[in-house]
Amino acid sequence: MKRYKSYTWIVWLTFTIIIVSAIWLIIRNNGMIKTSADYEELTSFFQIWVVVGLPALLLYLLPKQKASNNPFSQSPIKKLRLQATILFIMGLLFLIAMMLTPEESVFDYFYLYKLLFLFIIPFIIIKIVPAPPMNQSYAKPVQWLYPMLVAVLWIYMYFFSPLSLTSNADYEIGLLYLFIGAAVSFILNSVLEELFYRVWLQTRLEVLLGTWPAVCATAMLWALWHTAIQGGGSLDLAITNAIVYQGVIGLFLGFLWAKYRNVWVLILIHGLMNFPIQIITQIFGG
């Protein structure tokens, strides 16, 4: 039995915003977008959508092994709503802090904001606010076969297919410093973001809003903060860039989390998107 009102309007609104943003990018920038804050290379968003879309299609076609896999499905709504509201506000505050910070200083405060709003305060709140009891843990049973099939297809599309999204950008720092930077980025970007946005926030919102409204709301919240670090030359391009790129990837990651609850596969995919290919080329290519 449903424990929420109909929030399908969130889904329709999200897809409408993505389509309108895509049309705007075609008009303003020939459909070309930035995919990283580390380099200025532009990629067609159509190419990105195919790279993400094929694994998403496979994910849709694969069976779901459990009818209900949300650990909060039997939790008291009032407690769950309080935690989810606070977590969503933390995500908004992180977004606002990033947007209000001058562009030349944003990377000076980036990880401080992230630790404060996405980990420290949420962790304290989760411990202080009466926690909704879980009818199962996040990780039991962890499903590996189907999500790994999706991950393998994504890895092929992203790294090895003719539509590969890898960059040949050259980081002008030593290999050791590049590796350390990649490790820090992996923990504070891939691990922390998947923990906050998908595991903590989306899982609770799924019970309150429904699966796809929760996936959409979380994906947009996650996508929009990237506006501050992946500007497209103007605010309209920066916002639409984030919606069309990170927004679509957020839908894919959120769908994968909702269906199989395997956070390790999410972290793997997210981590590989941010991983500097230069490390591999320097180690194996000389």
User: Which tens digit of pLDDT belongs to each residue from 132-185?
Assistant: 566 565 555 568 899 999 999 999 999 999 998 876 666 666 667 777 888 888
Query: Is pLDDT of 283 > 60?
Result: no
Residue 145 lies in a domain: yes
Residue 3 lies in a domain: no
**130 belongs to a structural domain:** yes
| Integer CA distances (angstroms), 105 to 27, 102, 112, in order | 31, 5, 12
Q: Of 17-26, 32-41, 80-89, 193-202, which gets the smallest average pLDDT?
A: 32-41
Q: Please provide residue 42's backbone torsions phi and psi, each rounded to the nearest 5 degrees.
A: -110, 145
Q: What residues are paired with 123 via a beta bridge?
A: none
Nearest to 219 by CA among 232, 206, 228, 207: 206
Find the domain containing 103 and state its range.
Answer: 8-285
In a domain, 211, yes or no: yes
Given a cut of 70, whether residue 232 has pLDDT beyond it is no
Q: What is the pLDDT of residue 1?
A: 43
Omega within 30 of 0 (cis) for the link into 162: no
Question: Residue 286 — pLDDT band, cuts 50, 70, 90?
Answer: very low
User: 2 in a domain, yes or no?
Assistant: no
The C-alpha atoms of residue 128 and residue 107 are separated, in whole angstroms, by: 31
Q: What is the pLDDT of residue 137?
A: 59
Q: Note whether residue 148 is domain-resident.
A: yes
Examine residue 250 and state whether it is found in any structural domain, yes or no. yes
Number of domains in the chain: 1
Side-chain-side CA neighbours of 200 within 13 Å: the count stands at: 30
Angle between helix 145-155 and 248-260 (nearest 10): 160
Q: What is the pTM of this model?
A: 0.92
Q: Which residues of 124-154 are buried (b: 16+ CB within 10 A; e: fewer)?
A: ebeeeeeebeeebebeeeebeebbeebbebb
On whether residue 24 sits in a domain, the answer given is yes
The pLDDT value recorded for residue 125 is: 85
How high does pLDDT run on average in the chain? Answer: 87
Q: What is the mean pLDDT of residues 38-50?
A: 87
CB atoms within 10 A of CB 180: 12
